[in-house]
Amino acid sequence: MNGCGKREELAEKICEVSFAMDELRLFLDTHPGDSEALEAFSERMEKRIGLIEEYTDKYGSIDGYFVKTAYGWSWNGAPMPWKRECES
């Protein structure tokens, strides 16, 4: 795939912001009134929406409900997450 390094960089940003939200989601499940955590969650959610949109535009779909079909079907092709696409 072209621009593998840049794709990985963007994928890593999505990974980071998503993990922060995974962690905050569990924390909020048991601390629903924590205003700092609520704010942190909402900030990251906005950032993540933008990153996913950018990734989907450039490299294809991450989310099976959000697939851009202008250039065909990008959902069930490379890169598969368990493979090391960029080095081999």
Partner 1 sequence: MWGYEKRLQYPVNIKKPDAKAAKIIISQYGGPDGELGASLRYLSQRFAMPDDRVAGLLTDIGTEELAHLEIIGAILYQLTGKLTTDEIIKEGFDTYFVDHTVGVYPQAASGVPYTAAFMQSKGDPIADLSEDMAAEQKARVTYDNILRLVDDPDIIDPIRYLRQREIVHYQRFGEALGMVRDKLNSKNYYAYNPAFRNR
Residues that bind partner 1 (CB under 8 A): 11-12, 14-15, 18-19, 22-23, 25-27, 29-32, 61-65, 75, 80-84, 87
Report, in Å, the least distance between residue 59 CB and partner 1: 10
C-alpha 80/C-alpha 88 separation (Å) is: 14
Report, in Å, the least distance between residue 56 CB and partner 1: 10
Report, in Å, the least distance between residue 29 CB and partner 1: 4
Specify the amino acid at residue 57. Answer: D
Beta bridge partners of 66: 63
Name every residue whose Cβ is closer than 8 Å to that of residue 73 and which is 6 or more positions away in sequence.
Answer: 67
